[in-house]
Structure 1
Amino acid sequence: MIRRLLLHSLLISLLLCSAAAMADRHTPPPGVLELEDGFYYVVQKGDTLWDVSARFFNTAWYWPGLWAENDISISSHNPHWIYPGQKLRLALRGTISEPEPLPIITEKPLPEPEPPSYRFSPIHRVGFITPEPVEPSARIIAATESRDMISTSDRVYIAPSADRILPIAGRYIIYASPEKVRNPDNQRSYIGYLHYISGLVDITEHRNGLTIGHVSSAFRPIQEGDLLFPMPKRKPEIPLKPPVEGLEGKIIAGDLNQTMFAQEDIIYINFGKKDGVMPGQTYYLIEEKEISATGLKKDRRTDRIPFGAVFILDTRETASAAFVIDSRKNASIGTLVTSPIH
């Protein structure tokens, strides 16, 4: 509730200038409806919250506030899923007024408002790329009951790696043998190893020299021989952060050996912590077109056209995992990913 009030306050402050202009003209700006309970924008084909936020608040980074203000009914975890004809409330009528003075606090300063964030619920399913395979803590020997495939709620026997002791209640990710990721600019070289996360397991007991775990979640088929690694510290609430300027990379992999990617897919990009990339940043998907006014090769010029956006979920030293939040066409391995183009 507090977060919603803070977001609403920020929304109102961002609209003060435009609301004042409305009052002077007695009519809302083009594209805005003035109804009994507030000012609304009617969604057009191709709109996203990112676009609407940039248009009416002079910053695309306010889209989580616009989302919270409207309590948009989302059928998936993608907040940009809005539809033509849908009305987005920009501000309440009668709420734009001279703010009351805040009480003077001498003992404690006012708490800093939480930065806008994006909630990505399936964050623990997101894999990661490292230059070399991570050292596993253990491997799954077998299920305690005969199974063709290990899944959620199954109990499994676990063999810790040498000199490893798995603590009771410890939680580990389950992953298959890491896959090599090729360099899109040189197919003979490799960028690193992609670790797909198949599920989560909790250590429940040590008995008769055996370690036993409970599979709390299964995201993909789990098999005997799959490996374990301590679960990374990740939170589904990811604060928004500005992107690194002038950065560009390429899509190098996708989940489950995908080579074509659309909205809501997970992709992996060949820039990471060493480049200043952090979770919460947004970058553009870019299409490059060669144009020649004369038709001659020497007169060719390359134009870069953004056709989508990705949100960074996880970063390692040289690579990052991202979620495609908006895309007007399919991307593929080797598609260019850059800082926002101004």
Structure 2
Amino acid sequence: MWVLATALLAVSVSLTAQQSRPDTVQLNDNVPMTYTVKSGDTLWGISEIYLREPWRWTELWDSNPQIDNPHLIYPGDVLELRWEDGRPVLGFAQRGPVKLSPKVRSTSLSSAIPPIPRDEIDPFLRANRVVDAVIFDRSAYIIAGDAKRLISGVGDRVYGRGPVDATDRTYSILRRGELIVDPITQEVLGLAASEIGTAELLAAAATVFTDADVKELEVTSMNEEVRIADRLLPQMEGIVDAFYQPKAPDFQIENGFMVAVDGGVTQIGALDIVTLNLGTREGVVVGDVMAIYQAGEVVLDPVTEEMVTLPDVRSGLVMVFSVYDKASYGLVLKASRPLAVGDKVKNP
């Protein structure tokens, strides 16, 4: 009994110590000392279990260099909370029931738990892409389908015209969407293009094209029907890091806004996908978590009869999962009230 009381006292003292240091991550009340990872878990979900500020996951997580892929967590892994130098640290108590060899582990990366629900973002990523508007307008395009068909599908041949590099064999088939415009500067940040599918260039690699030449391609995949005037751009790979970790941005956000929402809904809520007017040029990386603020209302001061703007209201959180030069896509993680395009994003 005395040993148990001493152990509990030690835990209590450790909790008190870590919560008294302002630079230390703050734990939630009654956090579990161990946690067994389940299928369907996410890094964000586990971080919410332990942290009052879950975007500080990297400060809690023990990236032990002696463990293969220490940032990857798998169903069946047991996590253990401990204290080091007065700070809480969450790490592996043990790996799952089967010890995977490095070779097997390297081929099993897809089974690691994701940062956020992949079923919410994967379909979007397969069908959406931000493109430079000038590059899009100058790109090759489909002028005809086989046998003059207006609509084509997988296995059909299509004919493209415009600048094509024969060394690029695979092309994305894109359809024009809305321009992404900065609400403050009115700068065009890119074009939201729909990825209709992919096509393979059928000409020999040594073929030299002029822009006016007609190129023959075969549709190899599709998200929807391929149509005349759809654009052809080299396929992009590696846009998304699937194993990023939640964190606060490494820069001070200025004039950040949600400028569009997938599906064009008027009210934005949790698990909606939004476009932000911030990209790599501002320092955004995947995993950045930002706070969403609604502009404060303008009210009449009953004493001075002046119009006064109330402070902005913190209303949610969004995590970036795909970044381009001047814009990025994020998943709304929390919404305490209905959100809207035009709401601000700031450091959390």
Give TM class, smaller chain: 0.5 to 0.7
Q: Is the 8 A contact 2:172 2:199 kept in 1?
A: no
Q: Which residue, out of 141, 144, 165, partners 2:143?
A: 141
- The corresponding residue for 1:191 is 188
- How many angstroms apart in 1 are the aligned matches of 2:53 and 2:193? 40
- The corresponding residue for 1:21 is 11
- How many angstroms apart in 2 are the aligned matches of 1:232 and 1:51? 33
Q: Is the 8 A contact 1:255 1:266 kept in 2?
A: yes
Q: Deviations over 1:139-194 (max 9, x none)?
A: 2234437867545x2423131414x24447x22222223533444348xx453442
Structure having the higher strand fraction is: 1
Q: Which residue, out of 261, 269, 278, partners 2:268?
A: 261
- How is 1:95-244 mapped onto 2 (pairs within 5 angstroms)? 118=115, 121-122=122-123, 123-128=125-130, 130=132, 132-134=134-136, 136-144=138-146, 149-151=151-153, 153-162=154-163, 164-167=164-167, 170-185=169-184, 189=186, 191-203=188-200, 205-206=202-203, 210-218=215-223, 220-233=224-237, 234-240=239-245, 242-244=248-250
Kindly tell me: are residues 215 and 239 of structure 1, through their superposed partners in 2, closer, same or farther at Cα, counting changes over 3 Å?
A: same
Q: Is the 8 A contact 2:251 2:283 kept in 1?
A: no
Q: Shift in Å at residue 322 of structure 1?
A: 2.1
Which structure 2 segments of 5+ residues have no match? 1-6, 16-27, 37-43, 63-70, 83-89, 94-108, 205-212
- The corresponding residue for 1:10 is none
Which structure 1 segments of 5+ residues have no match? 1-16, 41-46, 73-88, 100-113
Kindly tell me: are residues 227 and 291 of structure 1, through their superposed partners in 2, closer, same or farther at Cα, counting changes over 3 Å?
A: closer
Q: Deviations over 1:183-229 (max 9, x none)?
A: 4348xx453442322233131523997512223131x4532110011
Kindly tell me: are residues 256 and 150 of structure 1, through their superposed partners in 2, closer, same or farther at Cα, counting changes over 3 Å?
A: farther
- How is 1:306-317 mapped onto 2 (pairs within 5 angstroms)? 306-317=314-325
Q: Is the 8 A contact 1:142 1:156 kept in 2?
A: no
Give yes or no for the alignment of 1:54 onto 2:51.
Answer: yes
> 1:134 aligns to what SS in structure 2?
helix
Q: Deviations over 1:264-317 (max 9, x none)?
A: 332222222221122221212112334879645659463333322222233333
Give yes or no for the alignment of 1:329 onto 2:328.
Answer: no
Kindly tell me: are residues 19 and 139 of structure 1, through their superposed partners in 2, closer, same or farther at Cα, counting changes over 3 Å?
A: farther
- How many angstroms apart in 2 are the aligned matches of 1:265 and 1:175? 23
Aligned length: 273
Q: Is the 8 A contact 2:241 2:286 kept in 1?
A: no
| Counterpart residue identity of residue 227, structure 1 | R
> 1:262 aligns to what SS in structure 2?
coil
Q: Is the 8 A contact 1:283 1:337 kept in 2?
A: yes
Give yes or no for the alignment of 1:275 onto 2:282.
Answer: yes
Kindly tell me: are residues 337 and 217 of structure 1, through their superposed partners in 2, closer, same or farther at Cα, counting changes over 3 Å?
A: same
> TM-score, length-normalised on structure 1?
0.60
Q: Is the 8 A contact 1:313 1:322 kept in 2?
A: yes
- How many angstroms apart in 2 are the aligned matches of 1:24 and 1:254? 44
- The corresponding residue for 1:14 is none
- How many angstroms apart in 2 are the aligned matches of 1:20 and 1:193? 55
- How many angstroms apart in 2 are the aligned matches of 1:339 and 1:23? 31
- How many angstroms apart in 1 are the aligned matches of 2:201 and 2:11? 63
> TM-score, length-normalised on structure 2?
0.59
Q: Shift in Å at residue 50 of structure 1?
A: 4.6
Kindly tell me: are residues 58 and 273 of structure 1, through their superposed partners in 2, closer, same or farther at Cα, counting changes over 3 Å?
A: closer
- The corresponding residue for 1:102 is none
Q: Shift in Å at residue 334 of structure 1?
A: 0.8
Q: Is the 8 A contact 2:175 2:196 kept in 1?
A: no
Q: Deviations over 1:50-108 (max 9, x none)?
A: 5323239893457999x976849xxxxxxxxxxxxxxxx86499xx9xx9xxxxxxxxx
Kindly tell me: are residues 193 and 276 of structure 1, through their superposed partners in 2, closer, same or farther at Cα, counting changes over 3 Å?
A: closer
Q: Is the 8 A contact 1:173 1:197 kept in 2?
A: no
Kindly tell me: are residues 256 and 228 of structure 1, through their superposed partners in 2, closer, same or farther at Cα, counting changes over 3 Å?
A: farther
